[in-house]
Structure 1
Amino acid sequence: MTKSISPRKSELLSAKPRINAGRKPTPFHPRQVEKCETNDWTLWAGYSVPNSYHSVELEYFSIRNGATLYDISPMCKYRIKGPDAERFMNRFVPRDVKKIKPGRVAYAIWCNDEGHILDDGTIFRFGPDDFRLCSQERQYAWLMDSALGFNVEILDETDDIAALQFQGPTTFAILEAMGIKGVETLKPFDHKNFPFAGTELMVSRTGFTGDLGYELWIEPGKALELWDALMAAGADRTISPIGSLALDMARIEAGFIQPTVDFLHAEHVVRHTRGRSPFELGLDWQVDFGKGHFTGRRALLKEKEGNSSRYCFVGLEIEGNKPAHNALVYHKQKKEIGHITSAVWSPTMKNNLAMALLQRPFGVDIQEDLWVEIYVDKELKWDRVMAKAKIVDRPFFNPPRKRLTPPARF
């Protein structure tokens, strides 16, 4: 007679951490499970990815001092090809896509008819009529609706491409040690294909940390081979995987905005007034009125000509060392004028940093005497601190090494 084991006991006997039912593992999941000591997972676009592996602080320092692997396979990837591909992309996003040359990558936002941002992401250009759009959220329905009248083919490639963010000062030296010949010629925002393990590895000099780094794109069947090759080549250069929490610290230092954190997707808000325009998020440089029509152009032109933007997005340095998570911002400690969207105590810069959405004219015409209300938990005793803040330029962290071509061999 077979002896049965209770589900709970079976779970305790299991040597591997478990993920919630219904979540898909990425192609790198077998290696992540081996490394994820905290068993702290989160959901991203239907996939399970680690929040952390062992220590958020140590993972953060690996970004700034070594090389790190962060799984971006869940990122939504859409291939857009056809005779009208360039014309369609120029209609879809506010920036001028004609200026993006083949072999280049560009940051982009896209808006609804009210001029409110739906999402942001990157555009990869492979040829005159061949693009890939990458985004955090699912955009297939919006893309298909927007493509009416255009001779384009739109393919969802999300599950067909495994991808890693490979970030940190030693990343170039590791790729070189792997035998990726020619990677030294990549300038920031370049992308190029290289032979690897009988297939092609696409390397783009892009990332979300504001540091030297790359993103690596490969077919799922070769994902584990890529992971193992990177770990072997980086054994002497402090290589380690990182989770979402450490990456978030680095992206705030870099001054990058994050959907669902610094702004809400216009199609997801319950109240339409909660949408934000590019001008309200400091993304004026993304809007090119001279290129012709694009979705949201009329609303954005009206906003610009009428100087009717409601908000101003700013970077702040704040006194003290307590991060101002979700804090309110005041003028002269009395008038509430906005709130903090992202905050971090920067271990590298030894500074208290934040990004905030302020009600105009604050942040534009009025920039002095700003204060942030921070509540500090001291062993279940909450102290209220009013900390002085000043507006500063972003990025907060901007090392020369991220721009050097060829990069330094740390």
Structure 2
Amino acid sequence: MILDPAQRRAGQIHIATPRLETPFHSRIAALSTTNDWYSWAGYKAPHSVFDDELEYFAIRSTAALFDISPMVKYRIRGVDSERFLNRLTLRDVRKLQPGRVQYTAWCDDHGHVLDDGTLFRLAETDFRLCCQERHLPWLTDSADGFNVTIEEETETLAAVALQGPTSFSVLDAAGFAGVETLKPFQISTFQHQDHEILISRTGFTGDLGYELFAPAEIALSLWDRIWAAGQLFGLQAIGYGALNRTRIEAGFIVANTDFTTAETALRPDRQRLPDEIGLDWLVDPDKPYFNGRDAILKARRTKSLKYILVGLEIEGNVPAEHALVYHRKSREAGIVTAGIWSPTAKRNIAIATLTRPFGEQILDDLWVEIYAMRELQYQKLMKRAKIVPRPFVKLPRRTVTPPGRF
């Protein structure tokens, strides 16, 4: 069948529909030499800017800027905001003081993880929840009976991550006096062009780093202020490819990469309890009732957990992402969800989901099946793997306060 031009155009609407551009997009596009973009929550985001490997070394050796504006952001305010969020999330929000950030996760009534993210307590009854997926309908439904307001800030609030050993020096040179006092997971407000911006000592690289939040209308001038100050400290703009390498080294997980969120899972066996993806330490069973509590505690009590998330060290230097994991080279035990050769650890590392009892009772004689491209032909490699703790890379500078100057 031959399609006329109008039919072809109609069939390409989904391709022609432009992705949204973040407030920082013009600056990143001007720096981009790879033109390597991907879609993040409907936004055009860089997978790389100039070179994946050099961008990685910018994070670990100097400083790097990564646009996190597409990260979904919700503002939750009201007299019941603490009680609402305590019902919603796994950790005890009552312990989160104003000016602090809490890594957390939240579940449906069956205890399956809907998402993970960071919860900022901006004031006594004022919170910001940052996450991977959009949850506004679920949040508003869950808020029934609570005196709270919920507003999505994703489009109006620009955000950028500044990560790496010289990141503090960049902010200091940019004139953000007092930023040296910020401890990990602490936040403070600063002035920029007669506007208030928020800086948190947080990040997704396992390195010294900060995240800056500002009204979208002053995003470009904030970028320029940081960029100008950073030229003496090796500052580079980076894409997700480099960031992903560092988050694997840090042992961090990503929703819908290392686990499937409950709302997006098409099959029941794809859903995960917190204990099945390494988030058991977030669960506070002593706090008031929260979503999924009964199911999570029942699974622990009856020992009915089916999966476990582990760190692997694999022989050789061929990354094992999406490789199958076997016991004794014959029985399938799980799958690698993320894997790289780590330049910092000098090891072949991976994050994997295993089916229990593998990873819990059976720890030895594990192998991964890697298919490596060699001169246009795939070569099957069976490489020995051993379970190791996460993080794979632990950098003391991440927590030193005040950070070292350069």
User: 1:20: Cα distance to partner?
Assistant: 5.9
- State the TM-score, normalized to the length of structure 2: 0.95
Structure 1 residues 74-105: Cα deviation after superposition (integer angstroms, max 9, x where no partner) = 11111111111010000001111111111000
| Candidates 219, 225, 239, aligned match of 1:223 | 219
Following superposition of structure 1 onto structure 2, how do residues 3-402 of structure 1 map, counting pairs within 5 Å? 21-402=17-398
SS at match of 2:130: strand
Task: Quote how far apart the aligned CAs of 1:230 are.
Answer: 1.0
Partner AA of 1:103 in structure 2:
G
- Equivalent residue of 1:234, what SS? helix
1:9 maps to none
Inter-partner Cα distance in structure 1 for 2:17 and 2:232: 37
Q: 1:319: Cα distance to partner?
A: 0.2
Structure 1 residues 20 and 102 mapped into 2: Cα distance closer, same or farther (>3 Å)?
Answer: farther
Shift of 1:260: 1.0
Q: Secondary structure at the residue paired with 1:124?
A: strand
Which digits, 9 at most, give the CA deviation of each residue in 1:129-158, with x for residues without a partner? 111100111111110011011111111111
Q: Deviations over 1:271-329 (max 9, x none)?
A: 12210110101111111111121111111111011111001110011000000010011
Task: Give the whole-Å Cα distance in 2 for the aligned partners of 1:78 and 1:296.
Answer: 22
Residue 238 of structure 1 and its aligned partner are, at CA, apart by 0.6
Task: Return the alpha-carbon distance in structure 1 between the equivalents of residues 278 and 261 of structure 2.
Answer: 16
* TM-aligned CA deviation for residue 33 of structure 1: 1.1
One-letter amino acid matched to 1:392: V
TM-score by length of 1: 0.94
5+ residue gaps, structure 1, are: 1-18
Distance 2:101 2:242 in 1: 25
Q: Percent identity?
A: 55
1:185-244 superposed Cα distances (whole Å, 9 cap, x missing partner):
000000000112221121000000000000011111111111111111111111010001
Give runs of ≥4 in structure 1 deviating > 2 Å: 19-22
Aligned counterparts of 2:300 and 2:111: Cα–Cα separation in 1: 11
Look up the SS of the partner of 1:268 in the other structure: coil
User: For 2:233, what is the secondary structure of its paired residue?
Assistant: coil
The one-letter code sitting in structure 2 at the alignment partner of 1:244 is: Y
Cα offsets for 1:319-348 (capped at 9, x unmatched): 000000100111111111111011011111
Following TM superposition, by how much is the alpha carbon of 1:21 offset from its aligned partner in structure 2, in angstroms?
3.5
Structure 1 match to 2:10: none
Aligned residues: 392
Shift of 1:357: 0.5
Aligned twin of 2:9: none
Q: Which amino acid is the alignment partner of residue 297 of structure 2?
A: L
Q: For residues 394 and 149 of structure 2, what CA distance do their matches in structure 1 show?
A: 38
The separation in 2 between residues aligned to 1:394 and 1:312, in whole angstroms, is: 13
Equivalent AA in structure 1 for residue 250 of structure 2: A
Distance of 1:261 and 1:77 partners within structure 2: 20
**Alignment CA distance shift 1:33-1:20 (3 Å):** farther
* Root-mean-square deviation over aligned CA pairs: 1.0
Hey, what does 1:16 align to over in structure 2? none
Q: Distance in 2 between matches of 1:289 and 1:344?
A: 35
Secondary structure of the structure 1 residue equivalent to 2:263: coil
What are structure 2's unaligned runs of at least 5 residues?
1-14
Give the letter aligned to residue 141 of structure 2.
D
Q: CA deviation at 1:22?
A: 2.6
Structure 1 counterpart of 2:107, one-letter code:
C
Specify the SS of the correspondent of 1:289.
Answer: coil
2:7 is aligned to none
Equivalent residue number for residue 8 of structure 1: none
